[in-house]
Amino acid sequence: MAVITINKEFGTHSQRVASKLAEKLGYEYIGDQLLAQIARELNLSEHEAATFRQTSKSSVLRLVDKYTCSIVQKVVDREHGCLDDRAYSEKSKELVEKLYDNGNVIILGWGGQCILREKPDLLHVKLIKDPELKITELMDQQHLTRKAAEHKINNDEEDFKAYIKEYFNEDWNDARLYDLIIDMGKNSVMEAVDLICENLKHKLKE
């Protein structure tokens, strides 16, 4: 059994990479959709929950037992919780570790590269792209001005950096957190999938 964590910069097609990788390996892919399930257990607002994709039939949801969620509910002592609340983050760590124990899973985000840093049978991947390419692509896709595109990208990536710094005291850009860094400006989704699979084979042989 093995686990792959994927972290990403803005505009790197991370969900497509994770989904195609899961199909190829026969692994479970865990991303934002699991947060929607937990959000309901935490009594988060429907607006917050609606931002995440629903996959209620995922077999991995069976790993989120009612005991764990009930503890989180007690910790988040308010009418509506917050997805980046420190107490929630601590319980998210427990869930990520539980997913690792189950094995054969791809975890997109969640600080998996930090939570599972010392675990065996793991491949930590980061998807990157040239800043100028990210800007021009977003301008074309959403018909934004350059300033608006830069602002959107910077806001999203600053959130990623702040989360890793706040909860794990690590630098999101530290290459030592990753086993493989893929430039998505030079590789297609399927080329990235192939690179990850090849590196996973070598990693498991070590």
Res 148: pLDDT: 95
Q: What is d(CA 164, CA 155) in angstroms, rounded to the nearest whole number?
A: 15
SS3 state at 184: coil
Res 129: pLDDT: 96
Please give the model's pTM, rounded to 2 decimal places: 0.76
Res 110: pLDDT: 81
Res 102: pLDDT: 86
Query: Which domains occur in the chain, in start order?
Result: 1-27+107-206 (3.40.50.300), 31-103 (no CATH)
Question: Would you state the structure tokens that stand for residue 96, as one six-digit string?
Answer: 């990520």
- DSSP-assigned letter for residue 60: G
- Characterize the bridge pairing of strands 105-108 and 28-30: parallel
Q: How many CB atoms lie within 10 A of CB 155?
A: 10
Q: Are 80 and 44 in contact (CB under 8 A)?
A: yes
Res 49: pLDDT: 38
Distance of CA 140 to the CA centre of its chain: 25
Question: Would you state the structure tokens that stand for residue 83, as one six-digit string?
Answer: 């997805």
Continuous H helices in the chain: 14-25, 32-41, 46-49, 66-75, 86-102, 112-115, 131-142, 146-168, 189-205
Tens-level pLDDT at each residue, the chain (206 residues): 789 999 999 999 999 999 999 999 999 898 776 566 566 655 655 444 333 333 333 444 434 444 444 444 444 444 444 444 555 667 678 888 888 988 899 999 888 999 998 889 999 999 999 999 999 999 999 999 999 999 999 988 888 888 788 788 899 999 999 999 999 999 999 999 999 999 998 887 76
Question: Would you state the structure tokens that stand for residue 26, as one six-digit string?
Answer: 């026969």
Res 35: pLDDT: 64
What residues form DSSP beta bridges with 4?
106, 123
Q: What is d(CA 27, CA 84) in angstroms, rounded to the nearest whole number?
A: 27
What residues form DSSP beta bridges with 107?
5, 30
For residue 127, give every residue at least 6 positions away whose Cβ sits within 8 Å of its Cβ, in sequence order, or none. Answer: 6, 7, 8, 9, 12, 13, 14, 17, 181, 182, 184, 192
Residue 7's identity, in one-letter code, is N
